[in-house]
Amino acid sequence: MSVSFLTVLLRAAIYLETTIACRLDLEKRMALQLGQAVLDDLLIPAYSFTGDTLFDVETVQRIMMNYLEYETDGSHFGYKEEDGYISPPLSDMERVGKLMESYLAEIASDRNLPVSKFIGLAELIPEQSRITEDGMYRAIDIYLKAHPTITDLERKKVCSLMDCQKLSREACAHAAQNDRLPVQTVVQVLYYEQQRLRDVMNGSMSSGTSPSISSRVNLHPPTDIHPVSDELSSLKRENEDLKLELVKMKMRLKEIERPSSAVPSAASSPMGIIVPSSDKPPLPRKSFMNSVSKKLGRLYPFGVPPS
């Protein structure tokens, strides 16, 4: 039976509330062929009207756990090779990893999806199946956008699911300007991107030949030297920009972690005396009293009237 047909049977079994043994058997059969499944096969709706998630995340989580157990021990489920169930090839692990990342990105926009379910499902994806972290970053970004009210600690836990070192250059450029990510994650992204640029520059410089040797070998240098030099200069400029951005993010991180210091005000100073600034010299008290007496003299030239 194909995965699509098994999905139809599983949806019907959940909707009709059949026995648990029947549903678990269908889940195990789907796990055996999970490498051939597509995203629509995993989008099983949650048949409940209690304001829960839109899709049945627990069922997909059990299917993924069964798949991982079958990868570890093929005879765990009791299916024999002559029955038509054989262990999937190792390349299926990468396909399953991409499939689960797509599933995470699809359910991440559900506002009723708690952090624990998102993290629990993401942790089931094996690291060896994730060549790059772009799919995981996309799912995390969608989840953070759909859940802006989660705490900073939960935000850090969600972002710890991805390895910033395995992000592509485009994903790093997007993550460096993403305000939804914690400051610590952005600093890690900038650090790894700067390290990557440094490695590229060092590799380009080490692969270059000596000018004297190249002049002896070929008197007419190739015309593609200028594009290479332009690329190196652009990489240097980008490296400097990343250094500056990294310094800014570190300063911002220190300002956030620094406790707010009390600013002295006029009320906190004794007798309500305002401390003069260092830029302007303090006004002499004698000249101030003289100006006040002059103004009173203009108002009452014959003296202050008795009260």
Q: If we measure between CA atoms, which residue out of 184, 187, 174 comes closest to residue 145?
A: 174
pLDDT confidence of residue 174: 93
The answer on pLDDT for 87 being more than 80 is no
The answer on pLDDT for 152 being more than 70 is yes
Q: Which domain holds residue 188?
A: 166-205+234-255
The answer on pLDDT for 272 being more than 50 is no
- Whole-model pTM? 0.64
pLDDT confidence of residue 193: 86
Using an 8 Å Cβ cutoff, are 30 and 37 in contact? Answer: yes
Using an 8 Å Cβ cutoff, are 110 and 85 in contact? Answer: no
Distance CA 270, CA 154 (A): 45
Question: Residue 195 domain-assigned?
Answer: yes
Question: Residue 187 domain-assigned?
Answer: yes
122 vs 262: which has the higher pLDDT:
122
Per the structure, the count of domains in the chain is 1
Which stretch of 139-143, 182-186, 192-196, 240-244 has the lowest confidence by average pLDDT? 240-244
Residue 174 identity (one-letter amino acid): H
CB contact burial 28-52 (16+ within 10 A = b; e otherwise): bbbbbbbbbbeeebbbbebeeeeee
Question: Residue 192 domain-assigned?
Answer: yes
Question: Residue 138 domain-assigned?
Answer: no
Question: Residue 178 domain-assigned?
Answer: yes
Give 306's pLDDT tier (boundaries 50, 70, 90): low
Tokens, residue 74:
């093929």
Mean pLDDT of the 135-159 span: 95
Question: Residue 245 domain-assigned?
Answer: yes
Question: Residue 115 domain-assigned?
Answer: no
Question: Residue 238 domain-assigned?
Answer: yes
